[in-house]
A and B are shown apart, each in its own frame.
Chain A
Amino acid sequence: MKPRVATVWLGGCSGCHMSFLDLDERLIELADKMELVYSPIADIKEFPHNVDVTLVEGAITNSENEEYAHIIRKRSKFIVAFGDCATTGNVTAMRNRFTPDEILKRSYIELAEKNPQIPNDYTTLAQLLKKARPLHEVIKVDAWLHGCPPTADQIWFAMTSLLEGKIPVLPPAYLRYG
């Protein structure tokens, strides 16, 4: 059975996923070795059970991210923080010196060109957490993949070790802050 792999996009810009696509022709090689069971680039509605490896992009910045992180944790054997937002909070966390109210006011009132109003239907919308946090502050994380975004080579290194059945521990050459 091929390893079941998922990728998730939480509080990030999807740049890490774009970088994943930069694997280019190596993607074909990857596709042979794994089964992609969930991803923003695959149309699957619910996060499946019994996932071997999940790559999580983005920080935990709203209530949905937080809830989702716990679901992912329960259903994935190994979780890789994918990129700097998941690892350090990075750009997503730059809002942390302001309160959510200040941020919403700035975005939806002060900078609004038309119809300024703060969205308030939280039955369908996720609510901002007080602070955006890196993934490992919320759930247990097994490996970290640095970079904003991580380069295709870093991703390749991580994916190939994972598919060989190993947890990737990045050598210093693959550490990259930003």
Chain B
Amino acid sequence: MGVVTFTMDDVQYSANEGDTILKVARDNGVHIPTLCFLEGLSPVGACRLCLVEIEGSPKLFPACTTKPAEGMIVRTQTERLKKYRKMIVELLASEGNHQCAVCVVNGHCELQDLAYEVGLDHVRFPYLYPAKTLDASHKEFVIDRNRCVLCTRCVRVCHEVEGAHVWDIANRGINCEIIADMNTPWGESDLCTSCGKCVRVCPVGALLEKGATVGELKKERGFVKVIVTARSKHEWITVEDHEEE
């Protein structure tokens, strides 16, 4: 496999051909914020938080899908990028109903982490207060669409890893929503194996376990390691104990 050498934030890196800029950055401890990206799922380049500048192009490129080329000069922390990242978090905050008493206590919310990271002290865009629904029909889990950031991690993990494809997106634009099957209550889904992968990959509190305390509402942050077996008994076997990043 070939190797390419490129510069990122004034430091030279070598990358295996096929690696993305994000992978090289993560492997070398360079922090680029992400939301829709999750290792183990196909990258979709949707959240635009990992946008980076590449010298010679006026365009911005998502680090999660862009591969470095020989001699490429990449910048990940310019003022323009920081400003846009902050605006993206502002837009997200205005879009859903994110008044939440859980995340602030347990700290397990990637949206909250992002807001801390970009120093969000107020949102300049009017809050939209959408009338979203909550579906608690599943016996183990709940989906609260008020909290959803539409990262589609749940859609992808269900389709790509579990192979069930329960989740998909309905509607378009600002009216997009995650739905189960053909928009049936989750508990009535024919396809759902109750594996819980979607809950574990959800970056926010949109998908959660029933009966868990606030402190227990933790999310899987690393690679998806869950394999479903005795699903009816609410027992999961994990490949290894999940480590926090």
B212 interface residue, CB < 8 Å from A?
no
Within 8 A of B (CB), among A121-178: 131, 133-134, 136-137, 141, 143-144, 146, 148, 169-170, 172, 175-178
Interface string of B77-90 (1 = CB under 8 A from A): 00000000000000
Kindly report which residue of chain B lies nearest to residue A146, judged by CB atoms.
B121
- Taking a contact as CB atoms under 8 Å apart, the answer to whether B104 and A178 are in contact is yes
CA distance A89 to B98 in the complex (A): 11
B101 interface residue, CB < 8 Å from A?
yes
Chain A contacts for B115, CB-based, 8 A: 175, 177
B7 interface residue, CB < 8 Å from A?
no
- Taking a contact as CB atoms under 8 Å apart, the answer to whether B99 and A94 are in contact is yes
Chain B, interface SS category: loop
B112 interface residue, CB < 8 Å from A?
yes
Choose among B112, B119, B129, B130 the residue with the greatest number of A CB atoms under 10 Å from its CB.
B129
Q: How many residues of B contact A (CB 8 A)?
A: 24
- Taking a contact as CB atoms under 8 Å apart, the answer to whether A88 and B119 are in contact is no
CA distance A94 to B101 in the complex (A): 13
- Taking a contact as CB atoms under 8 Å apart, the answer to whether B129 and A90 are in contact is no
Chain A, interface SS category: mixed
B223 interface residue, CB < 8 Å from A?
no
Question: With A175-B116, A176-B104, A177-B103 given, is the CB distance from A93 to B129 under 8 Å?
Answer: yes
- Taking a contact as CB atoms under 8 Å apart, the answer to whether A131 and B119 are in contact is no
Q: How many residues of A contact B (CB 8 A)?
A: 28
CA distance A90 to B120 in the complex (A): 15
B172 interface residue, CB < 8 Å from A?
no
A45 interface residue, CB < 8 Å from B?
no
Kindly report which residue of chain B lies nearest to residue A175, judged by CB atoms.
B116
Chain A contacts for B59, CB-based, 8 A: none
A62 interface residue, CB < 8 Å from B?
no
- Taking a contact as CB atoms under 8 Å apart, the answer to whether A88 and B121 are in contact is no
A97 interface residue, CB < 8 Å from B?
yes
**B132 CB to nearest chain A CB (Å):** 8
A91 interface residue, CB < 8 Å from B?
yes
CA distance A148 to B120 in the complex (A): 16
CA distance A143 to B115 in the complex (A): 17
B124 interface residue, CB < 8 Å from A?
yes
Kindly report which residue of chain A lies nearest to residue B109, judged by CB atoms.
A177
Within 8 A of B (CB), among A76-132: 81, 84, 87-91, 93-94, 96-97, 131
B127 interface residue, CB < 8 Å from A?
yes
Chain B contacts for A89, CB-based, 8 A: 99, 127
Question: With A88-B127, A93-B127, A131-B129 given, is the CB distance from A81 to B99 under 8 Å?
Answer: no
Q: Contact residues of B with A, CB < 8 Å? A: 93, 97-101, 103-105, 112, 115-117, 119-124, 126-127, 129-131
- Further 8 A-B residue pairs, CB within 8 A, beyond A84-B99, A134-B123, A177-B100: A88-B99, A94-B99, A96-B127, A97-B97, A134-B127, A143-B121, A177-B115, A178-B100
10 residue pairs from A and B, CB less than 8 Å apart? A87-B121, A87-B122, A89-B127, A93-B127, A97-B97, A97-B129, A134-B122, A134-B123, A178-B101, A178-B103
Give 3 closest A-B pairs by Cβ, nearest first.
Answer: A178-B104, A96-B129, A144-B121
